Structure 1
Amino acid sequence: MKTFKSILITTILFLTTSIYLTCYAALITPNATTYSLAPMLKLVLPSVVNISVHGEAPITPNPSPKKRLKNSDEENDNQEPMGPQKFDSFGSGVIVNADHGYILTNAHLVKDTQMIMVTLSDSRRLRAKVVGFDVPSDIAIIQINTKYLTAIPFGDSDKLKVGDFVAAIGNPFGLQQTVTSGVVSGLERANLGIEGYENFIQTDAPINPGNSGGALVNMQGELIGINTAILSSGASGANIGIGFAIPSNMAKSVMEQLIQYGKVERGMLGVIVQNITPALANAMNLKNSDGALVSQVLPNSPAEKAGLKTKDVILRLNGKPIHSAVQVSNNISLLRIGSDVELDLQRDEKTFTVKATITDPNKIKIAATENSKQLLTGLQLRNFNQLINNKQEQGVEVLHVEDTCIGFSSGLRPGDLIVSAANQPIHNIEELQKIAAANTQRMLLEIKHGMNGNFFLVLEE
């Protein structure tokens, strides 16, 4: 019996050792499968460049408040500039066209620059010129003149799912060719307090100062986002694992317009939409909360001419499923004036499709600003009354700001919520118009924007 036990123990030890040695051998065998990003990155890294800029920032008459949500190249400085400030900054970019030397990056990185230098992965250093930039989307195209470049292929950001593995590539703190990895933590992030159109990919792949304009890639080495901003922890500015990237489909659409026309011309459908809450879905006998609810159709707009009505639900836009109001505004913002859009709608219990042609916003008379004084000219507004974090929020929401109007030069941006004017609470557009009529030269506004809290700015003729 003892002999049997000894044989059994010896056999178990032998088998255990054999299994261990077999597993270890598999790990060191040259032909063994290894889980590494290196093969993919070998193809991608030559496409990511370092960008250093020198410029002078203009005076900001009404600076917005300091934000916890920061561009990923923003310095952690608590001092507001008192006048034009010379600066040297650094960031990243992605080569998207090797033949023409086009590099995709962030607008906030290059818009006020006097000189842009690009350092390639092979250490070549070249001067770049700005082809065009679009502040609302924070996308810019710069160009270098050289040969032997490697361009990155575009991926389809619409196919991303929460949990997909991604890698962020850039030049944080001026260090070249730095790679971090993580997953897609969220999609269609909005209301973050960033100016312009918000439709961000959220990732936990660490993004640090200097990563702005860098690449967010999938495991196939395709560009699926442009790294743009981070959520930092208070004054320290430290990364807390929440970064944001502009989806590649949006970046590509803006890029194509910048290359072809030098600017982005945004059209308007003339429809105002809102998210469908479970309570709304239940009250309107909808199956779920998918889609965007039409809350207003502007007169003489393409939406009105196409037959859209209040309480219609937009289910799809040009074949893409719609899950939120921000999807509608973001997709429309990428369509040029004169382009067609197809909308799948639900009205009562019937579904149908309509087509509309996007038009110039200046050709639509907006009821919200009719008869208003000069200070409100060029603004598209709507009444806002929603329950947010168990608190009823009321005011007037800014939907569109013409870049030539007083509101734009004063700092008003889409997504701003006007909660007071001339030190008087604002609950609707009519109240705002009355106050504007009594304050034709100057008007103090209190603004709420996303997570930034409240701040003040002055509309002044």
Structure 2
Amino acid sequence: MPTASDFARTAMAATLMLAASGAALAQTQPAYPPFDAKRGVFSFAGGLEKSLPAVVQVTTLGQSRGPSSADDPKPFSSGSGVIIDAGQGIVVTNNHVVQGGRKFTVDLTDGRLFDAVLVGADKATDIAVLRIEPDGRPLDLTQVRTVDSDTLRTGDLAFAVGYPLGLDQTLTMGVISGLNRSGLGDAVEDYIQTDAAVNSGNSGGPLLDSQGRLIGINTSILSGGAGGGNDGIAFAVPTRILQTVTEQLRATGKVRRGTVGAIFGSLTPERARELDLNIVRGAVVLDVAPGSAADRAGLRREDVLTRISARPVVNSGSVLATVGLSTPGTELAVDYLRDGRSASTRMSVAEAPGDETEDQPATPTT
């Protein structure tokens, strides 16, 4: 028969096992909010500091408006950028930062200045790729780590880094305010919304998570003030789109845009009532070109797309982003509603006749 000492030994063994498993768990999972015991403060510096040297200032030079030699381009635009490939000196920024430029320079956090060449730019997503030009000095660059933006959740912490309003590198903190934002222009839109302070000069700079990993590129703001300042509503191109665009720009210098030959509109409450639907998330087919991919797939006017390529359709931007960034020939699975009944089909993406748009999203931050 077990004695009291036997029970005590068993309880002690169980306690030690729990303590050991707790210690192992603590070693594999970081403590949040992170606490710097040495200084006695809460701080995200440990995760972010590794990425800050990858954030650069981009200056665009072109023909001066005043009297000047054609061989003496003057700075007319500046913004931010982030190094995504240290070995090749690849910097990502916004198209509107470099648009119209003849020459580009990149200013690193350690004070070094390098010339850069434009690899390619895409107006529809407002993404541009630069390559830092070696000049005999060791590049010794730092690149940012990247995370899949599809893993983001509203309420996650977000940090915007850049060179706003003539200041040196500046870090601001906020949260992910929303995902899948669109309707700000006529381009490929599927933005991350954040309330991290973003101002003129932040364009092209990274939006980072709390571990310092890249989740998006800051590209535009909504501002109610006449000066276009920060009102807590900023938008970033998510890495899901960023990676697709940069891969194509690095490979060919341009982006092949997909199309299915249909016009889509967001499902609003008004449209939902007209169609006798009890949902307000989706994209309504407004028109279908005869003989197009959408036509061959059997889509008709007033069909409501609810999923495309296994992704939920929030609005028309969800469809445009998926179709526009799909390479021609890609087959997309589509779920839709017709007269309130569910149906599905597949459609093959065709190459768009024009792969760029002149429209710019919302208010550029530079």
TMscore range, shorter length: 0.7 to 0.9
2:95 aligned to which of 93, 97, 107? 107
1:295 is aligned to 2:303: no
- Residue 49 of structure 2 aligns with which residue? 42
- Residue 128 of structure 1 aligns with which residue? 116
Q: Give 1:293 deviation, angstroms.
A: 1.9
Q: Give 1:285 deviation, angstroms.
A: 4.5
After superposition, where does 1:236-247 map in structure 2 within 5 Å?
236-247=227-238
Q: Give 1:300 deviation, angstroms.
A: 0.9
Q: Give 1:99 deviation, angstroms.
A: 1.8
Provide the rounded CA distance (Å) in 1 between the counterparts of 2:206 and 2:226.
Answer: 26
- Residue 30 of structure 1 aligns with which residue? 38
1:88 is aligned to 2:76: yes
- Residue 61 of structure 1 aligns with which residue? none
- Residue 53 of structure 1 aligns with which residue? 60
Q: Which has the higher contact order (CA 8 A, sep 6+)?
A: 2
Q: Give 1:95 deviation, angstroms.
A: 0.7
1:356 is aligned to 2:347: yes
After superposition, where does 1:338-357 map in structure 2 within 5 Å?
338-357=329-348
Q: Give 1:195 deviation, angstroms.
A: 6.1
**CA separation of 1:278 and 1:237: change in aligned 2, threshold 3 A:** closer
Q: Give 1:125 deviation, angstroms.
A: 1.5
After superposition, where does 1:186-201 map in structure 2 within 5 Å?
186-192=178-184, 194=185, 196-201=187-192
After superposition, where does 1:446-457 map in structure 2 within 5 Å?
none
Provide the rounded CA distance (Å) in 2 between the counterparts of 1:87 and 1:124.
Answer: 18
Q: Give 1:258 deviation, angstroms.
A: 0.5
1:179 aligned to which of 171, 175, 184? 171
Provide the rounded CA distance (Å) in 1 between the counterparts of 2:312 and 2:247.
Answer: 24
- Residue 203 of structure 1 aligns with which residue? 194
Q: Give 1:230 deviation, angstroms.
A: 2.6
SS at match of 1:337: coil
Q: Does structure 2 conserve the Cα–Cα contact (< 8 Å) formed by 1:91 and 1:174?
A: no
Provide the rounded CA distance (Å) in 2 between the counterparts of 1:301 and 1:36.
Answer: 54
Q: Which amino acid aligns with 1:152?
A: V
User: How much identity, in percent, do the aligned residues show?
Assistant: 39
Q: Which amino acid aligns with 1:142?
A: L
1:265 is aligned to 2:256: yes
SS at match of 1:332: helix
SS at match of 1:162: coil
With normalisation by structure 2, the TM-score equals: 0.78
**CA separation of 1:345 and 1:213: change in aligned 2, threshold 3 A:** same
**CA separation of 1:345 and 1:257: change in aligned 2, threshold 3 A:** same
Provide the rounded CA distance (Å) in 2 between the counterparts of 1:331 and 1:169.
Answer: 28
Q: Give 1:283 deviation, angstroms.
A: 4.9
With normalisation by structure 1, the TM-score equals: 0.63
Q: Give 1:39 deviation, angstroms.
A: 0.6
Provide the rounded CA distance (Å) in 2 between the counterparts of 1:114 and 1:254.
Answer: 22
2:156 aligned to which of 164, 176, 179? 164
Provide the rounded CA distance (Å) in 2 between the counterparts of 1:284 and 1:103.
Answer: 47
Q: Which has the larger radius of gyration?
A: 1
Q: Give 1:313 deviation, angstroms.
A: 2.1
Q: Does structure 1 conserve the Cα–Cα contact (< 8 Å) formed by 2:81 and 2:91?
A: yes
Q: Does structure 1 conserve the Cα–Cα contact (< 8 Å) formed by 2:48 and 2:210?
A: no
**CA separation of 1:243 and 1:290: change in aligned 2, threshold 3 A:** closer
Provide the rounded CA distance (Å) in 2 between the counterparts of 1:352 and 1:107.
Answer: 39
Q: Give 1:103 deviation, angstroms.
A: 0.7
Q: Does structure 2 conserve the Cα–Cα contact (< 8 Å) formed by 1:318 and 1:341?
A: yes
SS at match of 2:215: strand
Provide the rounded CA distance (Å) in 1 between the counterparts of 2:202 and 2:360.
Answer: 26
Provide the rounded CA distance (Å) in 2 between the counterparts of 1:310 and 1:291.
Answer: 14
Stretches of structure 1 that go unaligned for 5 or more consecutive residues are 1-26, 59-84, 363-400, 416-449, 452-461
Q: Which amino acid aligns with 1:243?
A: A
Q: Give 1:126 deviation, angstroms.
A: 1.0
Q: Which amino acid aligns with 1:190?
A: S
Q: Give 1:414 deviation, angstroms.
A: 9.4
Stretches of structure 2 that go unaligned for 5 or more consecutive residues are 1-34, 66-72
Q: Does structure 2 conserve the Cα–Cα contact (< 8 Å) formed by 1:341 and 1:357?
A: yes
Aligned residues: 318
Provide the rounded CA distance (Å) in 1 between the counterparts of 2:54 and 2:160.
Answer: 13
Q: Which amino acid aligns with 1:113?
A: G
Q: Give 1:40 deviation, angstroms.
A: 1.1
Q: Give 1:113 deviation, angstroms.
A: 1.3
**CA separation of 1:314 and 1:52: change in aligned 2, threshold 3 A:** same
Provide the rounded CA distance (Å) in 2 between the counterparts of 1:324 and 1:96.
Answer: 30
1:139 aligned to which of 117, 123, 127? 127
C-alpha deviations, 1:246-284, integer Å up to 9, x for none? 222112211111111110111211122222233443554
C-alpha deviations, 1:364-409, integer Å up to 9, x for none? xxxxxxxxxxxxxxxxxxxxxxxxxxxxxxxxxxxxx776xxxx8x
